[in-house]
Amino acid sequence: MNFNEEHIDENLLGKPSGGFDVPDRYFETLQKNILNKTSENGFFVPDEYFETLEARIQQRIPKGKVIPLNAAIIKKYMIGVAASILFIAGLFLIKNKTSNTIPTPIYSEVNVTNLSNEDILNYVDVEDITDSHIGETALNTNDKTQKQVEDYLLNNVDEELIID
């Protein structure tokens, strides 16, 4: 190789390191690499990566009150279950109330004087009042007032009406 003057000038001007070489575009990226640390131990990142990273993260962040998806679904299920329970319980209560309540219009027309002896006997046959709670209560009440009733009858009832 002939080292003419022109060639020497080219070497000196183009390669000021005196023969040492650097990769293409090394000096263009050196400052950026140092300032932005876009390369580390052989790993590197695309151009402008760190400049845009924050914006991309900010875009993905839900602003305002964050409710995790699972919690939102569980909450909806809980509301649904609670509503179903209330609905079923409501239906059950209404049904019970309807079946236990004796229709008012019928009883409004019922009068003791209207009842025949047969009706009363049928009622007594059907309803064993001595076994019922109401019956027991009534009997207890009668026990307490039995003395007063006997006294009243003895003092006020006409003796001719007393059947032996």
Partner 1 sequence: MPNAQTDDRDLVAQFRNEHTKNSAFSMILQRYQKKVYWHVRRIVINHDDADDVVQNTFIKVWENLEKFREDSKLYTWLFRVATNEALLFLNKKKAKFNTPIDEMDYSLLDSLQSGSYFNGNAAELKLQTAILTLPEKQRLVFNMKYYDALKYEEMEEILGTSVGALKASYHHAVKKIEEFLKKD
Give the residues lining the site for partner 1 (CB under 8 A): 36-37, 39-46, 49-50, 53-54, 56-58, 60-61, 63, 66
Beta carbons within 8 Å of 139's beta carbon, 6+ residues apart: 130
Q: Which of residues 45 and 121 has its CB atom nearest to partner 1 in the complex?
A: 45
Q: Which is nearer to partner 1, 42 or 105 (CB)?
A: 42
| Nearer to partner 1 among residue 41 and residue 99 (C-beta) | 41
Task: DSSP for 34-85, please give it.
Answer: HHH--EETTEE--TTHHHHHHHHHHHHS--S----HHHHHHHHHHHHHHHHH
C-alpha 111/C-alpha 101 separation (Å) is: 18
Q: Name the residue among 23, 55, 50 with its Cα closest to residue 38.
A: 50
Running DSSP on this structure, what letter comes out for residue 157?
S
Q: Please choose, from the candidates 49, 28, 22, the residue with its C-alpha nearest in 3D space to the C-alpha of residue 37.
A: 49
Q: What minimum distance in Å lies between the beta carbon of 70 and partner 1?
A: 13
Residue 7 or 37 having the CB closest to partner 1: 37
CB of 49 to partner 1, least distance (A): 8
Rounded to the nearest whole angstrom, what is the least distance from the CB of residue 58 to partner 1 in the complex?
8
Output the smallest distance, CB 20 to partner 1, in A.
Answer: 15
Q: Is the Cβ of residue 14 or residue 46 nearer to partner 1 in the bound state?
A: 46
DSSP letter assigned to residue 110: -
Shortest distance (Å) from residue 30 CB to partner 1: 14
